[in-house]
Amino acid sequence: MMFPIPEDVSTQAKANFEQALKFAETTTEAAEGLIDLNLKTAKAAGADAVKQVKALAGAKDVQELTALQTSFAQSNADKAIGYARAVYAWALDAHGEMTKIVEAQVSEVNKNFATALDKAAKSAPGGSEFAFAAMKSALSTANQAYDALSKAGKQVVDVTEATVNAGAPGRSKKAA
């Protein structure tokens, strides 16, 4: 015995599946970006290490060796900071893309729930208005809480970005 699936449920299931696929694609693209960054960094670090060893082996005296070591230490520290910034930028971009997907999904779920609630309220028996009003109030409260959390999360990202930018010598700060 088969039960018919209401069109609304079928449509929502398809939409959820599409969102899940989009989330998976975005996650995969983000992972590919980080892998690419790490491969390029490892390749560059290997080439730098070979150059540095050759330069150190060719040092004529202790003073040249000391100067080379100091120069390489500063260069390596700058590269490490650059790598950390690149990872931060990658994480910020990935977070932004994931946030867009989640926010779109939350908005769609809220819209569908509100529509279903309105349909149910129209066909509900008399005296149930209080229950529907309570459900709408709970939905409104949940949406306000989500908005507050979302805004707090964005503020944390903004503060973190400002902190990173403030510590970046020679880098101009973004206009707010």
Convert the pLDDT of each residue in 126-157 to its tens digit: 887 888 788 888 888 888 888 888 888 778 87
The answer to whether 166 touches 173, Cβ cutoff 8 Å, is yes
Per the model's pLDDT, the better-predicted residue between 20 and 40 turns out to be 40
Can you tell me the distance from the alpha carbon of 175 to that of 20, in angstroms, rounded to the nearest whole number? Answer: 35
26 and 101 in contact (C-beta within 8 Å)? yes
User: What does the pLDDT read at residue 169?
Assistant: 54
Looking at residue 173, what is its pLDDT? 42
Give tens-digit pLDDT for 71-103. 999 999 999 999 998 998 898 899 888 888 888
Q: Minimal CA–CA distance to 117: which of 140, 88, 96?
A: 140
Coil, strand or helix at 71 = helix
* Rounded Cα–Cα distance for residues 163 and 174 (Å): 12
